Structure formats: C-alpha cells, structure tokens
Amino acid sequence: MPDKNIDSILALDEIAPTIPQRENGEPKNDRYSQLLDRSDYENIEKQMMSEFGFNWGYLDYTMTREADINETAYMLPGTLRLISQIVNVADTKNPYDSIVFLDKSARPSAYLFLLLVKKMKESHLIEQGIQFPKIKFMDIGKTDDPWKFDSPEAASLMREKLPPKEIAPKGETSRVLIVDEFMDTGKTLKNAVRVFKDTYGVDAEGTYQFDAKKGPFWYRNNNKKLVEDANINEYVRNFLSLPLEELRRQGYNIQDLESFKYLSNKLPKPAFTDIYYKRIDDISKNIETTSENLNSILKQSGIEPTKEMLTHISVIAKTNIRILPEGIYDYYKTAGGRFAVAERGDRKRSFELRKMIERVSSLVVERMKQNDK
C-alpha cells in the first residue's frame, strides 16, 4: 500500500456537512466536531498508522478510492456531527425515539458511534443525563431483490422480530433516524426509508454518517463488515412466498412452516440444519424419522429440548417439505433477509477492525477533552 501523504488530505472546511440543519426551532449547535481541527486529525492519523500500518485504511483497488485518505478525517467529522444532532434534540419536545443503521457496511460505523458516545460520556463531554435513542439495524441495499422490499411476508416477519413498540413507540408520530454510512447513488437510503414507512407507518428521516462520496475502507471487504447478508436462495424465497392455498394444493401441511419458524428462532443454525438434514436424508431413503433420533442429535450438540421444542420437532419428523435448511433458517431468523447475520468467514479480520475502531475513538476523545479546556 502506498504511503499516505498527510499533507494531501482535504481541509475540514472543504468537507460538506452530512446532516441538514433543521428549520423547526431546534438547536443547530455542532458542538463536538468543532473541538477538533486539521492538526488534530493529522496527529491522530499518524498515531493510527504507526500502530496499525497497512490494516488502518485497507486499500481495495477495485474502488475509486485514493490511497492517501486520512481515515480519521474521513470518519470522525460526520460521526461527531451525528452525535451533536442527537444531543441537541435530546432535551426538546421532539427527541429521536430510535436510530437505525443500515447493514452491512454501516455496522462498523455504528460501533464507532456507540464507542464515541460511551467515551464522551465517561469524559463528561456529554452530560450523563442525556438519553440516547435505541439503536437498531436493517439490511437494506440498493441492489437487493425487490421482493425483499415489497414482500408482505417479510414485512410481517420484520414486525414480529422488531415489534413496532420497540422501534416506533409513539406510532406514526415516532421520530426515527435512518443512517447510511456514505452516499453513492442515494438509492440505499431511499429504499430503507420506504421500507420503514411501508412496514411501520412512520416517515423516518434519513442521513449519512460520513462526508465523502466514497465508501469507508472496509466497504468491499466482507471480512471487515462484522455481519453479512442472509443466505436465502431463490427457491426458498419462492416456496415460502406461495399462497397458503397453493401449498395445500401441492400436498403440504402449512402448519409445518410454523414449526420451521419456531425452531429457527430457538435453535442455533447448526443444530437446526442437522435435524432437518436428517429428515431429508430419511425421506430419500424411504425410512421413518423418529422424534427420538432428532432429539438425540440436539442433545449431542449440548441442547436439552424444551417441551415446546419437542412438539415442533415431532412435526419436523413427519414433514414432507424438502428445502435447503440454511435458507429456511435464515428466512425466518432475518425476516426474509431484512436483518443481517453474523459473519461466517475469518473473524480475525473483524476483531482487528474492532480494535482499530476502539483505538481511534480513544485517541479522538482524549484530544477533544484536551481541547475542551
């Protein structure tokens, strides 16, 4: 990776704010980003580069992203303005009820946001009594299958997984802020705002956390996003979207799906797939599947089935549905893909990213505290 040229980074006055100023009488004070200037970002960046080298600012050559970006100056001004925006309205009559960050790439951004808030409170840069809204996540992208946005089944599952009272406690008058990490075409944020309106009946606000019209350095590196998309293939999606009457006509017992749904939400994925593959294997061999066999598989995984689990496992032992268990598990677990799943790859890289975010947030708050004297 080419060396970064600190002198080539954009000055702060060349960066446009991401959060529009409101016209409803709310305070407009951007109190936190003003505590840092160009020299602060330069010094913090030098420290990060000395400690983490190549990993800090991983350059993906498939992106139109310069090698000499000051990553600290890229991430922090917009994040601090986002914190200011929330703090400024926290004590007004119209605070935010919830904040929704968009997976997958915004998950590390949310981690940065949360760490900064925590450390700023500990350093008394934010008053202890300030209450921050609940943080939630949605996995909505600009190139997702339209089914994910428009499916009534996915919307219903989303409301079950994330009930309206948790995300929009005031109903249609709730104030919700949806945060994407940066703006490319703007389609992702528009999709998310629309999906939220269709699902919860709330006109959410949308904003961007980072200033530049380019992705963060982890944007195209799946091992650094902390989460990934649900694995729902087209066959699973089409099968589960069939009208109930059509499923009955094809000879399926629709109550079986309730057992799939229940067990997907109660069992770890490996345990769910193990018992279902056992059933599929028995069907192919034309032998009977017993509940006892499925129960023993769970016990071998260290799971002691509850009475209710046993009821649903007995249904799986008789089902004639043959479908990839990984897909049906993710479908129910993630509301048709509207929520992300934990990454499945090498987690070492994600741990490295967490460590770097923790370090830069500490350096930033230390410098802010010094400048606040």
Residue 229 in domain:
no
Q: Verify that 122 and 256 share a domain, yes or no.
A: no
Q: Verify that 244 and 207 share a domain, yes or no.
A: no
Give the C-alpha separation, 345 to 188, whole Å. 25
User: Percentage of the chain with pLDDT > 70?
Assistant: 86
In the prediction, which pLDDT does 22 show? 38
Answer yes or no: are the C-beta atoms of 294 and 275 closer than 8 Å: yes
Long-range contacts of 244-251 (CB under 8 A, 24+ apart): 251/320
In the prediction, which pLDDT does 7 show? 36
* CA-closest candidate to residue 225, choices 104, 101, 89, 51: 104
The confidence band for 237, taking pLDDT boundaries of 50, 70 and 90, is confident
pLDDT of 8 above 60 = no
Residue 286 in domain:
yes
Q: Verify that 194 and 266 share a domain, yes or no.
A: no
Give the C-alpha separation, 357 to 350, whole Å. 11
Sign of CA dihedral 315, 317, 322, 327: positive
The confidence band for 125, taking pLDDT boundaries of 50, 70 and 90, is very high
pTM of the complete model: 0.84
Mean pLDDT of 184-195: 89
Q: What are phi and psi of 26, to 5 degrees?
A: -75, 155
Of 187-196, 208-217, 247-256, 267-276, minimum mean pLDDT range: 208-217
What are the residues whose beta carbons fall under 8 Å from the beta carbon of 303, sequence distance 6 or more? 267, 268, 271
Return the residue matching tokens 């528009």: 190
Q: Verify that 261 and 118 share a domain, yes or no.
A: no
* CA-closest candidate to residue 340, choices 267, 186, 231, 204: 231
pLDDT of 199 above 50 = yes
Residue 151 in domain:
yes
Give the C-alpha separation, 314 to 32, whole Å. 58
Residue 320 belongs to what domain range? 234-333
Q: Verify that 213 and 262 share a domain, yes or no.
A: no
Q: Verify that 34 and 147 share a domain, yes or no.
A: yes
Of 106 and 127, the structure prediction assigns the larger pLDDT to 127
Q: Verify that 183 and 37 share a domain, yes or no.
A: yes
Q: Verify that 122 and 246 share a domain, yes or no.
A: no
251-290: pLDDT as tens digits: 999 889 999 999 999 999 999 999 999 999 998 899 999 9
Give the C-alpha separation, 228 to 222, whole Å. 7
Instruction: Report the mean per-residue pLDDT for the chain.
Output: 85
Return the residue matching tokens 């066999």: 293
Residue 63 in domain:
yes
Q: Verify that 143 and 14 share a domain, yes or no.
A: yes
Mean pLDDT of 291-308: 90
In the prediction, which pLDDT does 220 show? 66
Mean pLDDT of 65-89: 88
Residue 339 in domain:
no
Q: Verify that 146 and 210 share a domain, yes or no.
A: yes
Rounded to 10 degrees, the C-alpha dihedral 49/68/15/109 comes to -50
Q: Verify that 274 and 184 share a domain, yes or no.
A: no
137-183: pLDDT as tens digits: 999 887 777 788 888 889 999 999 999 999 999 999 999 999 998 88
Q: Verify that 163 and 262 share a domain, yes or no.
A: no
Answer yes or no: are the C-beta atoms of 333 and 341 closer than 8 Å: yes
Residue 173 in domain:
yes
In the prediction, which pLDDT does 319 show? 92
Of 56-70, 225-239, 305-319, minimum mean pLDDT range: 56-70
In the prediction, which pLDDT does 223 show? 58
What's the distance, CA 358 to chain centroid? 18
pLDDT of 17 above 80 = no
Residue 1 in domain:
no
Mean pLDDT of 129-135: 91
In the prediction, which pLDDT does 15 show? 34
- The domain tally of the chain equals 2
Mean pLDDT of 27-37: 79
pLDDT of 4 above 50 = no
* CA-closest candidate to residue 279, choices 324, 334, 242, 241: 324
User: Can you read off the two tokens belonging to residue 264?
Assistant: 């997907």
The confidence band for 341, taking pLDDT boundaries of 50, 70 and 90, is confident
The confidence band for 66, taking pLDDT boundaries of 50, 70 and 90, is low
pLDDT of 124 above 90 = yes
Across 48-96, the runs of DSSP E, i.e. the strands, are none
Of 113-122, 174-183, 343-352, minimum mean pLDDT range: 343-352
Of 301 and 121, the structure prediction assigns the larger pLDDT to 121
Sign of CA dihedral 14, 20, 191, 262: positive
In the prediction, which pLDDT does 62 show? 53
Q: What is the DSSP string of 273-335?
A: HHHHHHHHHHHHHT----HHHHHHHHHHTT----HHHHHHHHHHTT------HHHHHHHHHTT
